[in-house]
Amino acid sequence: MSTHSTASRLRILRVALVAAFAATLPLLAPGAQAKGTLVYCSEGSPEGFQPQFFSTGTTFDAASVPLYNRLVQFELGSTNIVPALSESWTVAPDGKVITFKLRRGVKFHGNANFKPSRDMNADDVLFSWNRMADDNHPFHKVTAGQTFAYFEDMGMKNIVDKVEKLDDYTVRFTLKRPEAPFLADMAMDFASILSKEYFDTMQKKGTPNAADVYPIGTGPFEFVSYQKDATIRYKAFDHYWGGRPKIDNLIFSITRDATARYAKLKTGECSVMAFPKPADLDEMKKDPALTVLQKEGLNIGYIAFNTEKKPFDNKLVRQALNMAIDKDAILKAVYQGQGQVAKNPIPPILWSYNDAVKDYAYDPAKAKEMLGQAGYPNGFDVDLWYLPVTRPYNPDGKRMAELVQADWEKVGVKTKLVTYEWAEYRKRSKTGEQQAMMFGWSGDNGDPDNFFVPLLGCEAVKGGGNVARWCNKQFEDLIIKAAQTPKQADRAKLYEQAQLIFKEDAPWITVAHSVRFDPIRKEVKGYKMDATAHHYFQNADMAK
Amino acid sequence: MFAFILRRIALIVPTFLGVTLLAFALIHLIPGDPVENLSGERGMDSERRARLLHEFGLDQSLTVQYFKYIGQVVRGDLGTSLTTHEPVLREFATLFPATVELAFFAMVFAVCIGLPAGIIAAIKRNTVADYAVMGISLTGYSMPIFWWALLLILFFSVQLGWTPVSGRIDVLYDVPTTTGFMLLDTLRSGEPGAFRSAVSHLILPSIALGTIPLAVIARMTRSSMLEVLREDYVRTARAKGLPYWQVVLVHALRNALIPVVTVIGLQVGLLLSGAILTETIFSWPGVGNWLIHGVQSRDYPVVQGGILLIATIVITVNLLVDLLYGVINPRIGHG
């Protein structure tokens, strides 16, 4: 046989293989989505399904949002607190006793190992709280290695004295001190209500920690299955107290890469996607198959001056550098116009936002003059730390740093840009070695206290959350008083004053509040974005 | 042969020690720690931080931590994930079949295309076919997996709509996991649609992951074949009047395969490291994806355990490849 004929056989084989491959591909194309099923392309795997243990948004989306409820909740789309598992509540005049009247007829889910025999009642509320609060509770350490991190981070042990059952449907929380943000805290994920009966049943079966692994809640969806790093399946809970969800099945398709999530949304493999890349938004908006929902973020991106270090211990310097920055240019270049310039440490979406506060206008000439008054007519050298990662409140730390560097250069301040790996960045920031640094915050709940205290309170200097290391007595008194004042209107006035002091003292440059986006397919109806960055699907429906 | 196996096994012990030390040192060298990771922007008071460090056993010196870890490993305990609190071994065992399935089909793709392409390039030396094969394989070798995978997704999935974007199977199929190998599980489920969906999900990741090994195999086959084709016994075989295909495929290829098999064995390590990127892009729920997340969250037990287990597999495969030489070419002894 000749070389030529061997080669031609091989060539024929090659062509046949390629043709076969190409012919098979269309047969393998992804199918259309089943009716009544909504697929959500989520950004990562949950750490577990027990909301008391964890503190990431990814886990909350997969656990506390679809599966559980709290005594109160945030009205979808706002930070207003509305009834959930409690129908009503009263706060004693001293602000230290809160009594919740529980909703009747609330059913728990069931699974192969557990069929609930009763409705949710006060025993479940006490159980859920006490297992976190009481170190000697029989279920406190039932799952090895787990801690109630969020409960501790929110300082609940120092806030709540005791929880009592007055009757099957009345629960009383007694606080150690008046704490107005407490209601908002109770709407947070860690305060989800678990089934006491379920944990007792699992304990009798000899596997108490199974109750922490296979979730049973009162939420709009029941847990079906989880394939690690791949899919989470839920089905609509027929007996949901808030009305059965419109869709029959909810599936989380875990897709870590944002480009892949977008591709899946385009091809219809999912109907809603989490966290789009800012660079893709323009194209998404032009796609007739997609709708890009947007919502003001409950966040703030800022540059903090270390007020314990020279030259930033001088208020004039801080004010001057505030004036030296062109925030509009930053918003355009870094946030691609998708956000708003910040003048307060809290976003406008939050009640008590003081719109009367006047921001430092961009005025390099005046900034230079003020630096002269402060004793720095020729400027100075400064290290500016910039974020090494994209955060919801700041999509591009480096770009922002470059713009700030150029702006400060104009007033004689020579800026050296510095950064560290993200974990290292945070670690160092807590020791106070920084001069000026970029940081930010996304609110945990809809209470202004959740911005002021962890970011600007004197205690937070020790904890490291207050990276400006700014401790202003007048400001501190106001935010503490506000936390202890029961009426929201009175609290708002105190926070408004606090914002004036903050602006005048200028421990930060408040840069921007970013906007969040949820791209969805046109078939999805009734989906509404949440204010606290969770993803709720109980009102969503799929058009035919 | 027996002595050879013993010698190789004896070598494995220091190799493992080296791997544990390296994995331990590397993850501890990365700035930050799991506790820091927990606190985020919020900050954490020093008392709670100290308590968590103690709970995770991170308050001890690195030497103590290392020897404790080695002690655990010797007892077969790779620890518990700091994120999910699941045993590392169980998590690995759940995810590893997905990686094996992907790596296997990537290798099948690489061998099925790379071997014939190399042979064609060798027998058609210095022709257009040769230049094309070598040019394409050089391009394939130089292509960053990340970029290549995205290109494949954008073209085949988004533009043409022929293949799904990512995952192992259409999420609408809820196939019970029995073996962990999706193709087998879907076959057992008896749903043809599910099997078809699993196959379609394998295509792009296999191509993305198999491209570099394909290029290496094609180039190695070509050069090895060229060498063998010049040998006297090949000339003799042709002079005897044997058909050309028989000379190439039986006489030459068998001998040319020895270095190729070595390369294929070495590609297993490459496939597992390549799987880390491929799995991330294709949301493939395997150990690569899991390891990346482990590194990001500074989940020390996951990273250390994962690297150790993968190293074990690579070392075992290489040992098997060494043993295979004898089978392919009896002239190679292991005495």
- Is the confidence at residue A2, as pLDDT, over 80? no
Q: Do A463 and B43 touch (CB under 8 A)?
A: yes
Q: Which of B82, B84, B177 sits opposite A227 (nearest CB)?
A: B177
Per the listing, tokens 């192992």 go with: B168
**Does the CB of B199 have a partner CB in chain A at under 8 Å?**
yes
Give me A337's structure tokens.
């116009």
Tokens 């509009």 sit on residue: A328
pTM of the model: 0.83
Mean pLDDT is lowest, of A140-144, A221-225, B119-123, for A140-144
Asked if residue A29 has pLDDT above 60, the reply is no
Tell me the per-residue pLDDT of B34-93, one tens digit each, with 9 for 90 and over: 877 776 676 677 777 788 888 888 888 889 999 998 898 888 889 888 888 889 999 999
Q: A33, A150, A231: which to substitute to probe chain B, counting the most B Cβ within 10 Å?
A: A231
Tokens 């890469």 belong to A257
State residue A232's pLDDT score: 95
A430 CB neighbours in chain B (<8 A) are: 43
B195, burial (CB in 10 Å: exposed 0-12, middle 13-18, buried 19+): buried
Min CA distance, B252 vs chain A (Å)? Answer: 14
- pLDDT score for B330: 63
Paired tokens of A521? 């397919």
Q: Which residues on chain B are in Cβ contact (under 8 Å) with A423?
A: 31-33, 36-37, 298
Predicted local distance difference test score (pLDDT) of residue A6: 44
Chain B nearest-CA residue for A48: B84
**Range name among A13-22, A336-345, B1-10, B225-234 with the lowest pLDDT average:** A13-22
Evaluate whether B30 touches A421 at the Cβ level (below 8 Å). yes
Mean pLDDT calculated for residue range A454-465: 86
Residue A465, class by beta-carbon neighbours within 10 Å (0-12 exposed, 13-18 middle, 19+ buried)?
buried
Most confident region among A138-147, B62-71, B233-242 by mean pLDDT: B62-71
3-state SS of B210-226 is HHHHHHHHHHHHHHHHH
pLDDT of residue A15: 46
Residues sharing a CB contact under 8 Å with residue A316, sequence separation 6 or more, in sequence order: A370, A371, A373, A374
Q: Are strands A290-296 and A299-305 parallel, antiparallel or unpaired?
A: unpaired
Tokens 């008054």 belong to A373
- A149–B40: do the CB atoms touch at under 8 Å? no
Whether A41 and A270 have beta carbons less than 8 Å apart is answered as yes
Domains, in order of start, for chain B: 93-284 (1.10.3720.10)
Lowest mean pLDDT among A293-307, A381-395, B249-263: B249-263
* pLDDT at res. A14: 47
A427 interaction partners in chain B (CB closer than 8 Å): 31-32, 36
Contacts of B80 in chain A (CB under 8 A): 144-145
Residues A31-65: tens digit of each pLDDT: 444 559 999 999 888 988 999 988 788 899 999 99
Identify whether the C-beta of residue A489 lies closer than 8 Å to the C-beta of residue A335.
no
pLDDT tens, position by position, A107-134: 999 999 999 999 999 999 999 999 999 9
CA distances from A364 to A314, A319, A332, A400 (A): 18, 11, 19, 18
Give the distance from residue A37's alpha carbon to the nearest chain B alpha carbon, in angstroms. Answer: 8
Residue B179 tokens, joined: 């073996």
Give B252's DSSP letter: I
Mean pLDDT score of chain A, rounded to an integer?
Answer: 90
pLDDT given for residue A16 in this prediction: 46
**Strands A272-273, A37-42: pairing kind:** parallel
DSSP state letters, B155-187? IIIIIS--S-SSSSS-TT--PPPSSS-HHHHHH
Name residues 240-279 of chain B within 8 A of A (Cβ).
Answer: 243-245, 248
Which residues of chain B neighbour A257 with C-beta distances below 8 Å? 166, 280-281, 283
Determine the length of chain A. Answer: 544
Residue B292 in tokens: 């990346």
pLDDT band, residue A146 (cuts 50/70/90): confident
Give the tens place of pLDDT for each residue, A174-207.
999 999 999 999 999 999 999 999 999 999 999 8
User: Quick one: how far is CA A543 from the chain centroid?
Assistant: 29
Share of chain B above pLDDT 90, in %: 28
Report d(CA B170, CA A268) in Å as an integer: 11
Exposure pattern of A207-239 as b/e (b: 16+ CB <10 Å)? ebbbbbebbbbbbbbbbeebbbbbbbbbbbbee
- Residue A157 in this model has a pLDDT that exceeds 60: yes
pLDDT for A27 equals 42
Write out chain B residues lying below 8 Å of A39, CB-based. 171
How far is A411 from A251, CA to CA, in rounded Å? 54
- The pLDDT of residue A459 is 83
Chain A residues whose CB is inside 8 A of the B301 CB are none
| A20, pLDDT greater than 70 | no
- Where does residue A379 fall: left (phi above 0), alpha (psi -120 to 50 degrees), or beta otherwise? left
What pLDDT does residue A35 have? Answer: 59
Per-residue pLDDT of B101-149, as tens digits, reads: 999 999 999 999 999 999 889 888 888 989 998 898 888 888 888 889 9
User: CA nearest A112: which of A201, A229, A196?
Assistant: A201
Give the DSSP H or E segment for A436.
Answer: strand A436-442
Please name the residues in contact with A534: beta carbons below 8 A apart, sequence gap of 6 or more. A57, A60, A61, A65
* Residue range B249-276: mean pLDDT, rounded: 80
Chains A & B: contacts with CB separation below 8 Å: 189
Whether A47 and B83 lie within 8 Å, measured CB to CB = yes
Q: Is the pLDDT of residue B15 over 80?
A: yes
**Cα B320 to Cα B9: distance, rounded to the nearest angstrom:** 11
CA distances from A251 to A248, A271, B24, B128 (A): 10, 10, 37, 51
Q: Are A324 and A284 in contact (CB under 8 A)?
A: no
**Phi/psi at A136 (nearest 5 deg)?**
-100, 5
Average pLDDT, integer, range B295-316:
87
Residue from the list A55, A144, A251 with its beta carbon closest to the beta carbon of B171: A251
**Quick check: B231 pLDDT over 70?**
yes
Is the per-residue pLDDT at A544 higher than 70? no
Residue A27's closest chain B neighbor by CA?
B162
pLDDT exceeds 80 at position A168: yes
Q: B162 contacts in A (CB within 8 Å)? A: 25-26, 28-29
Of chain A, the percentage scoring pLDDT greater than 90 comes to 71
Model pLDDT, residue B334: 53
